[in-house]
Amino acid sequence: MLFRLTPAESACVDEILRGYADNPHAQHMKDFIQHGTVTTYEHCMRVARIAFWLNRRLGLAADEVSLVRGAFLHDFYLYDWHHCKDITHWHGFKHPQAALYNAETVFDLNDTEKDCIRCHMWPLTVTAVPHTREAVLVGTADKISSGWETVMERRAVRKQRVENFKSR
């Protein structure tokens, strides 16, 4: 993927997420699929790394700790939206609230981290307008990551169909 961190940058992100990414509640995100075959945990890690990359490469001077932690927790909703009929229809609109509630229950969040989680689906969630550059970066990184995950999953499915057809 285009958004590659240097080893030093990757170590910086890992250090910022120490105590977050290895938290048992956060590890539970590995049990849920986000897009295609990508887990929610993988997606959140990717969003954190893309947001960090964008901030550094564009010289936006966002608070890196709040940015990375807010990005990592942006989808901390802890349910399988693919199999919840009551949730699935409204998931895109409602999951930021669930993620924020869960994150506040487990972690001590600052206002910037809360803004990142609450507003990452803007403009879909029209009333949850980002108030910080960190939240704008998380929303942007989330859309980049989601698009990439969806496209790559469709490519993998298409490739598998071609291989199955050839093996007949």
Instruction: Give me the chain's average pLDDT, please.
Output: 86
The string of pLDDT tens digits covering residues 19-63 is 999 999 999 999 988 777 889 999 999 999 999 999 999 999 999
Range list of β-strands (E), 7-130: 33-35, 38-39
DSSP letter at 80? -
C-beta neighbour count of 106 within 10 angstroms? 16
pLDDT in tens, 4-22: 999 999 999 999 999 999 9
3-state secondary structure of 167: coil
Between CA 118 and CA 127 the distance in angstroms is 10
Q: What is the pLDDT of residue 149?
A: 83
CATH dotted code for 7-166: 1.10.3210.10
Cα 37 from Cα 164, distance rounded (Å): 19
* C-alpha span between 41 and 54 (Å, rounded): 20
Task: Tell me the pLDDT tens digit for each residue of 73-124.
Answer: 999 986 665 566 555 556 555 788 889 999 999 999 999 999 999 998 876 6
pLDDT at 129: 75
DSSP-derived letter for residue 78 is -
